[in-house]
Structure 1
Amino acid sequence: MTMRSTRSTVTFAHPFTLPGYAGDLPAGDYEVLAEEELLQGLSFEAYRRTSTFLMVRGFGARAGRSEMRPTTENDLQEALSRDAATTSRTQTEH
């Protein structure tokens, strides 16, 4: 089976949480690694996402370390939507 990995960057303007992990992650830029597999038997090339990871840089006592935290595309999009809503509310209040 043919696999591919894609990398992208997401930006959080505010501290945020992801399901399955305790505590807030700080605002900032985060690299996202998505792994996909080629779907066989189609008349066109198509891929299905098999996993999504958020690269989290260590801070405090863990500075200099990075973790690949498994998440889902939906959980990541929900966290980004919450962040955008918080930004929108903050701008409206001023």
Structure 2
Amino acid sequence: MRRVIVDYKKLNKDILNLLVEKFPDGYADKDIISFKNHHNEAIEAVEVKTDDTIYLVKISKRLADTMESFDDDSSNVDVPQGVSKDQVGDLNDK
């Protein structure tokens, strides 16, 4: 399985949609993964998965703001390739 670290500035609509679906009320301390990067800097991230990739999205105040303001128009959302319906959930239940 491929692992990808993504900064909030580089989030595409598909990953942002996965984040909002997994953390509809925002993420909590228990959801945060801490690790050191190759420069030995402390990184905090939240994880979302597709069938073939684990995305670690670096967290920041701007990520929380981006997730909060994301307009999830369920009638126009496409499930990304490699993502199962179970991972995304039923968008019409909101």
TM-score (ref. length: structure 2): 0.35
Q: Which has the higher contact order (CA 8 A, sep 6+)?
A: 2
TM-score (ref. length: structure 1): 0.35
Larger relative helix fraction: 2
Larger relative strand fraction: 1
Structure with higher Rg: it is 1
